[in-house]
Structure 1
Amino acid sequence: MAKLGEVCEVLDSKRVPITAANRVSGQYPYYGANGVQDYVADYIFDDELVLLAEDGGNFGSKEKPIAYRVSGKCWVNNHAHVLKPKAVIDVDYLCYSLMFYDVSGLVNGATRQKLTQSDMRKMEIPLRTMVEQKNIVCRLNKLTELISLRKQQLAKLDELVKAQFVEMFGDVLLNSMQWPEKTLENMANIVSGITKGRKTAEADLQEVPYMAVSNVKDGYIDWTTVKTILATRQEIEQYRLMPDDILMTEGGDPDKVGRGAIIKVPLKNSIHQNHIFRVRLDEQEILPSFFAEYLRHQKAKRYFLGCAKQTTGIASINMRQLRALPTLVPPLSLQKQFAAFVERVDQQKQTVQQSLEKLKLMKKALMQEYFG
């Protein structure tokens, strides 16, 4: 093991923060704790470096790294430590060793945790021969490239569905094909969910899985972490999720407000929290595949953005606004054709997603083996 201060030059003294108002737009990346913040007209570094968050980093996260690699001309503000590896350590190896480093006990601060330079210099990483470092980097780089490729494949499949939607239904914002329009409440049963921390007098409670805002992404359900909650039998009956229910969030980033996804195979007795709306469609009128994709296009997005309440960068919609969502209703036969297309694409996506998850697990296992 070697201390970070022994294997790196710390170039923090060369950092220069620039306020947003004083930045001159240009071609050079302006880096902060977690990546590119802006592009500016000048640079202060031109080297192979590793940037490690000083404050405002993803400390404690198992998914988001606290260090990243930069190369060439750039500017760095005072929220990231600037590390230049000495001859004994490979720059990529250094980056991998720090990406998910456990800094608990090193960072301090109640509201905004900070990794001071003195504490950062004490961090220890495994010091191997250069040949071993290069081999480790080679294996991890290959996995990283494959993971990136799988993500690109998934993105292209999403674009394929979007292109097919436009081809079949036209520009839904302009309603170029003049489809009939109805408000969502006339074609769906819409309910809010269970409130966390509510008080109940009943003693007969059952622990069940529940869908939170973090589980509902724009077009898909994220199963990474599913929490549980104690609920009464009546609550379970009231909020139980069924296959093909659409889950929609009431709030979030302004550009994502009203995002939604189909929950195709709910967990047994799973329910949803009150910051999520459950939309159960009348499938004699509108199909889940069509509606879920409709939510991703500009007619729905602009509607939600236009009526959402916004405070400090967070937008939210209420039940009344969701029920009033203007929704185009093409012929059911055409919707069925689209749903069949989506199902075929979903089968391809499932294969790619399974490969992606395996690659992620392999990389995680290697990172654990090499860096603990």
Structure 2
Amino acid sequence: MIQKLGEICDFHSGNAWKSSKFKDKGIPIIRINNMKPNATDFKYWDWDEPYDPKFFVEEGDILVSLSGTIKTYKWVGEKALLNQRIVRVTAKENINIDWVYYQLSNVIVRISDKGKNAVIKNVSVTELKKYKVDVPDLPTQNKIVSLLDKASALVQKREKSIALLDELLRAQFLKMFGDPVFNPKGWEMMPISKVINEMKGGWSIGGENRSLKENEIGVLKISAVTSGIFKENEFKAVSKDKIKRQLVFPKKGDLLFSRANTKEMVGSTCLVPKDYDYLFLPDKLWKLIPNKDLINTVFLKPVLSNKGVRMEISKLATGTGGSMKNISKAKLNKMEVIVPPIELQNQFESIYHNIQGQKESLTQSKTALEHLFNSLIQESFKGKIETPKEEVKKKDSIMSEIKKQEGEKVDITNLDLATYLGIPDEITSTQEKWIFDLMSLDEFYQFLLKDNFTKEELFTLQDIEEKLHHFFYHGGDMDFPNASWQQIIFKFLEAKPPLLEQIFEEETATVKLKLTDETFKA
């Protein structure tokens, strides 16, 4: 049945909160830039200030941004307040809200496609409400959601693996060099002017937000650097005929620095993964050319990305405008950074490239899965439209991947955690406490259980506590997190299928625990 979105769901708009009343703590306010996993840059509303409860957002609520990057997002944070230009979507009777979530994602793609090469930066609630979609019965909606959830889980699994590698690299840096602001290891401090030979700026020229055509070249936008990862698609197309001066091209290994940005983003850096002869730097981006006898750019990147260092850079930045700030070469040159022995920096570079290689492999897999997932979304909402053969192949491909993943769990009986997660030998062989960086993972506790108890053994929560205490105290010389491990154990009991089962022992009249076969699979 063809219906308008406004007939199957309701759109609840956010509020225009007064920025003058923002606080450093209180109720988080969800702005468009907070619609992402692990967002941290929140503004807050004082609990004592008046607000309407209708603007509250709970975990699991469906959100749609109406400006900037138009997208859907399932809120995964704490209870928060909704800002303007974001809507919360609720489903009406006999409509699966998760089906609405996927349908909205598809609608946004279709709206963007109407713009062809133009970038769609705004969409109205009225436009969304009027958009017509084919609405199947509830059982069919549920089947579509089940399929897309499984496909989405594959993408999320890759994302989790990539995030783990990022966290391992961050932890490795801190172990080798300590916090670059507090400098607990007492490294020599030097001004940027001594470790950087040149800050090579680019050239800015107006361009168009679209793909390159013949005889065109791309001028990078500062958003190519802002995330900390080089984004080669963030550029504006410029005719080569307009280029009248020498350009600065990003090359493999270059460390780029954003000298102009918002207060929070000024000083953003990224490493360039390869040579780009069709892109050039604008004047707001610098290429930092190092004194290679003193500094390694792979080491300098996490130094400049450190939160404390970024705060120092932000303080040095100036600007009369409320949004854009600039930092001069003179001011940046005076800022001091830690300079450990170059041999140690080079050792870190080796670890970085090892981990980066694994990340690239996972990222390629994630990109392929995302493409297939998006194709599957479009296929799911095409209704009676005939599907092209190439799209059928894509759907078959992701369906095959889903089925394979559903039935494919690794037997971890004889595996250790490092082997299972693919952690580089450079870390496990040189850092004896590396494993404690993984305490937030469920797998951390799953491996502890299977390595400390047998399949036939009955044990109590107290037995687990004693094993954990011994592991943390003797292996890490640290106290173990009481609250966390108990939550994980209950999670294992409630899992489907469960990793632990409860057994009533008549001899002692107590309930004990026992590992299931699932404990030895991951």
| Short-chain TM bin | 0.7 to 0.9
Q: Separation in 1 of the partners of 2:80 and 2:266?
A: 34
Aligned 1:34-183 pairs, distance under 5 A: 43-44=53-54, 57-58=66-67, 61=69, 64-66=70-72, 83-99=89-105, 100-101=107-108, 102=110, 115-117=124-126, 119-183=127-191
* Deviation of 1:348 (Å): 1.4
Q: Separation in 2 of the partners of 1:309 and 1:46?
A: 36
Query: Is the 1:219–1:293 contact (alpha carbons within 8 Å) kept by the matching residues of 2?
Result: no
RMSD (Å) for aligned C-alpha atoms: 4.0
Q: Separation in 1 of the partners of 2:347 and 2:78?
A: 50
Provide TM-score, normalisation by structure 2: 0.57
- Pairing 1:277–2:277 present: no
Query: Is the 1:46–1:74 contact (alpha carbons within 8 Å) kept by the matching residues of 2?
Result: yes
Task: Give the % identical residues.
Answer: 22
Query: Is the 1:209–1:267 contact (alpha carbons within 8 Å) kept by the matching residues of 2?
Result: no
Opposite residue 161 of structure 1, the aligned amino acid is L
Opposite residue 318 of structure 2, the aligned amino acid is K
Query: Is the 2:204–2:219 contact (alpha carbons within 8 Å) kept by the matching residues of 1?
Result: no
- Where does residue 190 of structure 1 map in the other structure? 199
* Residues 268-277 or 287-296, more deviating: 268-277
Deviations 1:226-281 (A, max 9, x none): 44434588744x51333221111112232332111111312125321111011122
Aligned 1:310-321 pairs, distance under 5 A: 310=319, 311-321=321-331
Higher relative contact order (CA 8 A, sep 6+): 1
Deviations 1:52-75 (A, max 9, x none): 65xx7137x4xx415757999987
Q: Separation in 2 of the partners of 1:17 and 1:7?
A: 23
Q: Separation in 2 of the partners of 1:242 and 1:260?
A: 14
2:295 aligned residue (282, 286, 295): 286
Provide TM-score, normalisation by structure 1: 0.77
Secondary structure in structure 1 of the residue aligned to 2:100: helix
Opposite residue 2 of structure 1, the aligned amino acid is Q
**Which structure shows the higher helix fraction?**
2
| Pair 120,301 (structure 1): closer, same or farther in 2 beyond 3 Å | closer
Query: Is the 1:67–1:98 contact (alpha carbons within 8 Å) kept by the matching residues of 2?
Result: no
Deviations 1:137-168 (A, max 9, x none): 12222232332332232222222112211211
- Pairing 1:2–2:34 present: no
2:266 aligned residue (239, 242, 257): 257
**Which structure shows the higher strand fraction?**
1
Deviations 1:293-322 (A, max 9, x none): 211124532321221115324332122223
Structure 1, unaligned runs of 5 or more: 107-111, 199-204
- Where does residue 252 of structure 2 map in the other structure? 243
Larger Rg: 2
Q: Separation in 1 of the partners of 2:202 and 2:230?
A: 17
Query: Is the 1:97–1:371 contact (alpha carbons within 8 Å) kept by the matching residues of 2?
Result: yes
Secondary structure in structure 2 of the residue aligned to 1:255: coil
- Where does residue 351 of structure 1 map in the other structure? 361
Secondary structure in structure 1 of the residue aligned to 2:305: coil
2:343 aligned residue (302, 318, 333): 333
Q: Separation in 1 of the partners of 2:200 and 2:216?
A: 21
Opposite residue 244 of structure 1, the aligned amino acid is G
Deviations 1:156-210 (A, max 9, x none): 2222112211211122212222322322233322111012149xxxxxx963344
Secondary structure in structure 1 of the residue aligned to 2:145: helix
Q: How many residues align?
A: 348
Query: Is the 1:251–1:258 contact (alpha carbons within 8 Å) kept by the matching residues of 2?
Result: yes
| Pair 18,213 (structure 1): closer, same or farther in 2 beyond 3 Å | closer
Query: Is the 2:206–2:238 contact (alpha carbons within 8 Å) kept by the matching residues of 1?
Result: no
Query: Is the 1:32–1:76 contact (alpha carbons within 8 Å) kept by the matching residues of 2?
Result: yes
- Where does residue 201 of structure 1 map in the other structure? none
Q: Separation in 1 of the partners of 2:22 and 2:344?
A: 54
Opposite residue 294 of structure 1, the aligned amino acid is V
* Deviation of 1:43 (Å): 4.3
Query: Is the 1:211–1:227 contact (alpha carbons within 8 Å) kept by the matching residues of 2?
Result: yes
* Residues 291-300 or 64-73, more deviating: 64-73
Structure 2, unaligned runs of 5 or more: 36-41, 115-120, 208-213, 383-522
Secondary structure in structure 2 of the residue aligned to 1:216: helix
1:296 aligned residue (305, 316, 321): 305
Q: Separation in 1 of the partners of 2:218 and 2:268?
A: 21
* Residues 252-261 or 284-293, more deviating: 252-261
| Pair 206,340 (structure 1): closer, same or farther in 2 beyond 3 Å | same
Opposite residue 223 of structure 1, the aligned amino acid is E
Query: Is the 1:49–1:84 contact (alpha carbons within 8 Å) kept by the matching residues of 2?
Result: no
